[in-house]
Amino acid sequence: MSNGVTKKRVAIFGSTGSIGRQALEVIDANPGLFSVEVLTGQSNEDLLIRQALHFKPEVVVIGDEKKYPKVKDALSAHPIKVFGGEKAIEEVAAMDIYDIMLAAIVGFAGLRPTLQAIDNGKAVALANKETLVVAGDIVMQKALEKRAPIIPVDSEHSAIFQCLVGETRSRIEKIVLTASGGPFLGKKPNFLVNVKRDHALQHPNWNMGAKITIDSATLMNKGLEMIEAKWLFNLQPDQVQVIIHPQSIIHSMIQFEDGSIKAQMGLPDMKLPIQYALAFPRRIANAFPRYDFRKPGTLSFEEPDVKTFRNLTLATEALFKGGNLPCILNAANEIAVFAFLRNRIGFLDMTDLVERTMQQVPFIEHPTLDEYYESDGEARDFAASLIKL
């Protein structure tokens, strides 16, 4: 307690990542508002230990079991429970020791713990977009049943969420998701065919984890975000539009049925949507740099080049067709990005891999959760088999 205000107890799943680390900066700057109760990391045990020593959470989980003894040992002098392994991450999500989970694990691995938090009736600040891409219908339905609020952290979705505050009786005509275009905006296939991982890892506006940085370079990130938006805001596929806005100042927009457009703006800094999601429904003051309209500069917009960045076309197909197709797209993409990051396949091969996997794995219109898991596995196996050839 501080100043009569109960602190929000935060569980950070994926605390060693880009989002996790920035969330801890936000919490560190607001010790009267938040306490850290759970930290989980997959493999960076040294950072996880440092974070635990600083924030003194109730529970720490290291995903990679081989590293458990080191983490346990390093924290043995403190009243911190330490667990290891994938199952433990899920089990801790089911514990009643936190108010809000920051879902900041990357990829499909974030789905089970997030579902567990929802089952547990906890609020979820959702960075892990793959959770909604894979099983958005099931996740949102469960959140409704359990009255578990899902507050987006992804900057575009945070923008839409912020624009919706106070609009309880207004109908959305469409939403416009802005995309920076990534480091290869304006490039054509003859250039992209030779792109290597180090170049693709350099994003012009955002400093993020490796997977989402590659997804931003291929525009798959925006494709995933279209699907994420559909589920978060209960939209029809044709209500979701993507526009390239290289400056990343407008984070996204809503057009309401009277034609009025609301945008949320600011300098690109993930700490802002993280802070908004953790503190919701209030805003908290900070000293982040401000956007200044008086400085020379333009805000520009253009149509995405979907012929070159075909991932956007594939994701649009998955968005419209629904069923397990987004799950298949996501699984194949995770394999493709992993292979590209290890220099096993080229930049354009990533899209081919996703496309071939979408054609291969059988379509299911209304999958159960188990069928989503199965489709994910099948898609991974098939995509991986293409790389070995």
35 strand-pairing partners:
9
Cα 232 to Cα 83: distance, rounded to the nearest angstrom: 32
Task: Give least dist CB 225 to Mg ion, A.
Answer: 5
For residue 154, state whether it binds Mg ion (rule: CB under 5 A): yes
Residues that bind ligand NAD (rule: CB under 6 A) add up to a total of 28
- Tell which one of 41, 57, 136, 223 touches ligand NAD (CB under 6 A): 41
| Long-range contact set of residues 317-323: C-beta below 8 Å, sequence gap at least 24 | 317/358, 318/223, 318/227, 318/358, 319/223, 319/226, 319/227, 319/230, 319/237, 319/240, 320/237, 321/363, 322/237, 322/365, 323/363, 323/364, 323/365, 323/366, 323/367
Residue closer to Mg ion (CB basis): 156 or 334: 156
Residue number, 237 or 268, with CB nearest to Mg ion: 268
User: Shortest gap between Cβ of 208 and Mg ion (angstroms)?
Assistant: 9
Q: Which of 209, 246, 304, 367 binds ligand NAD (CB under 6 A)?
A: 209
Q: Kindly identify the residues of this chain, within the stretch 83-112, that bind ligand NAD according to CB under 6 A.
A: 89, 104-106, 109
Give the binding range for Mg ion (CB under 5 A) out of 85-93, 118-126, 154-162, 327-335.
154-162
Q: Which partner, ligand NAD, Mg ion, none, binds residue 106 by CB below 5 to 8 Å per kind?
A: ligand NAD
Per-residue contact flags (x/-) with Mg ion for residues 348 to 387, judged by CB under 5 A: ----------------------------------------
27 lies in the binding site for ligand NAD (CB under 6 A): no
203 binds ligand NAD, rule: CB under 6 A: no
Query: What is the residue whose two structure tokens read 């987006």?
Result: 152
**Contact criterion met (CB below 8 Å) for 143 and 208:** no
Q: Does 130 contact Mg ion by CB under 5 A?
A: no
Strand partners, 2: 5
Q: What is the dihedral of CA 157, 163, 168, 171, to 10 degrees?
A: -80
Q: In angstroms, rounded to a whole number, what is the distance separating the alpha carbons of residues 151 and 50?
A: 28
Measured CA to CA in angstroms, residue 66 lies from 40, 43, 110, 257 at distances of: 15, 9, 20, 55
123-126 and 34-41: which strand pairing? unpaired
Of 108 and 184, CB closest to ligand NAD: 108
Separation CA 54–CA 230 (nearest Å): 38
Please identify which residue in 63, 136, 304, 326 interacts with ligand NAD, judged by CB under 6 A. 63
Contact residues for ligand NAD (CB under 6 A)?
A: 14-20, 41-43, 63, 89, 104-106, 109, 127-130, 154, 206, 208-212, 270
